[in-house]
Structure 1
């Protein structure tokens, strides 16, 4: 079943293909329970398999550390050996690329991101070894593939539509930014994955909590007694799961805490509105003063514990960076906090150092991209480029190009941004809960970066909120497809527009895929992709 848009604040988007000549075909296709089950599970599985092919094909090319792989792959390898990230000699990349991978030192390396993302990369290294570039990237590719499946399932729950879910998953599967970030061993894909898991848990909690509020209120009204809200307030397992997921996201990169903060505020607002819809007295104060503190305690401490657990290797070894800082003369805290164990003093000092590094980072970089230009896709990141000679790497006649450019499918990206801007208007006009939830994902991933427009940041950071842009686009596609009461002409027009869009998006992905996958192409073909001067 697929659903169409309504202006209800609680109902699903409904896009069942009725009211057009497609009815007969669709009805025959899903005419039996078995076929409906096949569509229910087969659609998400198919787009996930498509994502796997696009992410795993020729994954080991190039056999060279790409962009920030020079940090994270080597850090992951030393984590496996030492339990902490250790240093490498200067200019060690050529040796590592050539298979001489054990030249690391015992001295600790100064790293400015938590270890979890590098431990995930280390899983691939542990299986395939550090001499296999496929092993460098396989963990990230699997994570990116699973993210497509999760987004598909999230979209189905959000829109009550398998069709829209499959469309959302398909767009994620073929988008170039998602493909590239799944084919290079850097951290941001893992950040996106865990934040999306947290989003899924928040979505599950919404229904769970609303149902329990209603059941408790109905029971109290039937008995004439005052409702006991304690169990409803404190027993929210999906919220605890969300805390775990956001803690894992922060264990990859600190920007995972943006999602924790954003959805924490979102939950307070949603809980207040749920109480108001049920006609409860003092709904606002109850949400803020009772449910608010409970939500904080269910969500934030769990996230912090998970974040701290990601540093286990640093805690249980003795040679991590700043590991013994507090034991050096003159460094230990004095006064009120002198009782804090030295390891924790060292840890807090390290965290402060990381914060200072991030807020002060303003080093020039040719692919630095101001966050103000991210939504317009002004400066995508070139991860890697090579010009193979004739006869090398499949180049039949030079000049040839090999590139890994982390640029989204332009049609999908710009349409998704436009859809998100429309959703801002729609939220003001209709206050649909789906719209608010989607926009919170976009806001948590994007808005905090507007505080750091002077920092050295990159367009590829946008992978963290790409899933929510795609959900916004899918929501608008649902509106275009129409609802059951539309006329045959309206339904046919909506289906035609959607089909044309999806075909064009697919053609563009095929056109761009060589530049997402380091495929050897003639230089003139590479040049055809320089639509804007800032894309070079």
Structure 2
């Protein structure tokens, strides 16, 4: 057990468990699920360098799906394999962030395990969509920037550059990662103003241009495959106008959708999305993009507690994690999307698990062992809901009613 009291073995153990869990029965169902109908064909076109398709998003996420198909074949395993790796990176990245902020293996482990047990990461791990890759780059990018915070010498620089590179790749997967570049820069300025010994030798006049410049170079580099298309290849003259084309696609007014929801309802787990519910592989199966109610609703209490810890006790670390969640939700009030869907809350659900771990860390003396009880409750619900998260065989078309706590979940 002493081995797992050290951060690296603990993080690797949790990451390995996550990877095994994400891969179990990964190829079920053997048909395209939800937005896989858009991204898998786009990945096929990209793999063959045929021509532009699915131009409303940058290329990197579809490139990674195409890479999975190249390694594992054009089938369910190839479509989804790298999504499992991305989700495991999210789990271990959460561990790294909490360890770097709080320096406690228990706190980091609580946050990582809650991330694993929060249904959203499990569901996104098993589908070929862009959000899982984007989240992995954001989480690991922020972890790298924090890793640079207390480094010395050249390590400060290359870790900072690594963080900038990963955040640039996140934007190259999906534009919704862009606000996190701004948040990272603002957090750096505030933290360094309070404690000039952080990121030693990395002056703001150097750090911020490096952050933005490297991220921008990484972003534009993700378009390289488009220059090799057989039909309508991208050119340097078209690179910037193409960004405007994507913006117009992103902001077009779309017709109403059955599963649309407003951003302010997402924290309440109000309107999840059925990614799949139909007969497949010889049985009725379903995949519901839903958050673990223990984590989602308990996390709201943790956010309030985190702000209280900052205001009352001056705990900027716990308050900062809570503010990260608040900012991640508030940005959707400004993003010009005509329709909203619950899976847009994916990154916020990750920060919510971190907010819970941070709150338990702050009140660890008063709430001793409550974190273990919270984990147990989360695990019980994970097991209970697992059949409609994993496309397990159900008894029949009406089986989903057994899991519908709210009418809005139907």
TM-score, normalisation: structure 1: 0.71
Which residue of 265, 268, 282 corresponds with 2:186? 265
Q: 1:271–1:291: 8 Å Cα contact kept in structure 2? A: no
Q: Does 1:502 align with 2:337?
A: no
Which residue of 443, 448, 451 corresponds with 2:331? 448
Counterpart-to-counterpart distance in 1, 2:381 and 2:35: 27
Q: Does 1:39 align with 2:10?
A: no
Cα 1:417–1:345 shift into 2, 3 Å = farther
Which residue of 240, 243, 252 corresponds with 2:164? 243
Deviations 1:208-244 (A, max 9, x none): 3xx78xxxxxxxxxxxxxxxxxx99xx7332222110
Q: Could you say which residue in structure 2 is the equivalent of 1:517?
A: 390
Which residue of 218, 226, 229 corresponds with 1:314? 226
- C-alpha displacement of 1:173: 1.6
Q: Does 1:356 align with 2:248?
A: yes
Which residue of 260, 279, 298 corresponds with 1:368? 260
Taking only aligned residues, the RMSD between alpha carbons, in angstroms, comes to 2.5
Structure with more of its chain in helix, by fraction: 2
Tell which deviates more after alignment, 148-157 or 262-271: 148-157
- C-alpha displacement of 1:42: 4.2
Counterpart-to-counterpart distance in 2, 1:440 and 1:196: 16
Deviations 1:108-129 (A, max 9, x none): 3242111111111112100121
Which residue of 272, 279, 299 corresponds with 1:416? 299
- C-alpha displacement of 1:452: 4.0
Deviations 1:47-70 (A, max 9, x none): 223212321111111111111101
Q: 2:295–2:352: 8 Å Cα contact kept in structure 1? A: no
Cα 1:344–1:512 shift into 2, 3 Å = same
- C-alpha displacement of 1:440: 5.0
Tell which deviates more after alignment, 181-190 or 110-119: 110-119
Counterpart-to-counterpart distance in 2, 1:476 and 1:66: 36
Q: Could you say which residue in structure 1 is the equivalent of 2:29?
A: 62
Which residue of 10, 35, 47 corresponds with 1:80? 47
Structure 1: 5+ residue stretches without partners: 1-34, 87-107, 213-230, 279-286, 324-342, 395-400, 483-489
Q: Could you say which residue in structure 2 is the equivalent of 1:150?
A: 93
Counterpart-to-counterpart distance in 2, 1:347 and 1:248: 17
Q: Could you say which residue in structure 2 is the equivalent of 1:71?
A: 38
- C-alpha displacement of 1:464: 1.9
Number of aligned residues: 406
Q: Which structure has the larger Rg? A: 1
Counterpart-to-counterpart distance in 2, 1:442 and 1:38: 29
- C-alpha displacement of 1:436: 4.6
Cα 1:440–1:67 shift into 2, 3 Å = same
Which residue of 119, 132, 137 corresponds with 1:189? 132
Cα 1:136–1:476 shift into 2, 3 Å = same
Q: 1:259–1:444: 8 Å Cα contact kept in structure 2? A: no
Cα 1:409–1:320 shift into 2, 3 Å = farther
Cα 1:443–1:306 shift into 2, 3 Å = farther
Q: Does 1:402 align with 2:285?
A: yes
TM-score, normalisation: structure 2: 0.91
Q: 1:438–1:472: 8 Å Cα contact kept in structure 2? A: yes
- C-alpha displacement of 1:442: 2.2
Structure 2: 5+ residue stretches without partners: none
- C-alpha displacement of 1:318: 5.4
